[in-house]
Structure 1
Amino acid sequence: MITVAATNGAGVMAKVADECDSRAGGNGEHGRQAPCLSNIIDGSAAVWNALGLDQGVRIVDVTWAMT
């Protein structure tokens, strides 16, 4: 679990379902996804909603910590 905090003061605990371990791009096992950026969270709609964030923005600043 991690705790995610938005700049608006809202926070939520979230379960880590997967992590990206490649800066060169994903392999077939991971759907050949694009390379990972550093220190990002790809949150579900529930996380965005709990933080009161606009999903249309797509990228926002948050902080996170292992719980």
Structure 2
Amino acid sequence: MSSDNYYKVGGSLEYQHPTYVVRKADYELYEGLHKGEFCYVLNSRQMGKSSLRVQMMKKLKEQGI
């Protein structure tokens, strides 16, 4: 990835983007969704909710869920 595309301002980060920071919430959300639990994500704007959704959707799809 070129340095021009390394950082992204605004919008969701692509799956496994090098600047995506995996948080405790990622593991907790994945576990809940994997178990079929109802999950929700609440946070203020520009805090990574959409990027988290992208990560979870791709990871679950890879698992066949």
TM-score range, shorter chain: under 0.3
Which is helix-richer, 1 or 2? 2
TM-score by length of 2: 0.21
The two structures have a TM-score, normalised by structure 1, of 0.21
The structure carrying a bigger strand percent of its residues is 1
